[in-house]
Amino acid sequence: MGGILDFWRGKRASKHDSAAWQALCDQLCPGDASLYLEVELSINNPMGYLKKFKDALWDRGIGKASEVTPWLALVDGLISRAHLTELDWRLHAEELAFELENLAPCKERDVRLFALSESSSSTQVLLDEAVQALRRYSLDLLCLDIDSDCYPLAVVPLDRASEVRRLASLVKQRIDI
The per-residue pLDDT string of the chain (177 residues; one tens digit each, 9 = 90 and over) reads 344 443 434 444 555 588 999 999 999 999 999 999 999 999 999 999 999 999 989 999 999 999 999 999 999 999 999 999 999 988 899 999 999 999 999 999 999 999 999 999 999 999 999 999 999 999 999 999 998 889 999 999 999 999 999 999 999 999 998
What is the pLDDT at residue 13?
A: 52
What is the pLDDT at residue 90?
A: 86
* CA separation for the pair 160, 61 (Å, rounded): 32
Which structural domain, as residue segments, surrounds residue 159? 2-176
Q: How many domains does the structure of the chain reveal?
A: 1
H-type helices in the chain, by residue range?
A: 2-8, 15-28, 33-44, 46-52, 54-59, 70-80, 93-101, 104-108, 114-117, 123-135, 158-170
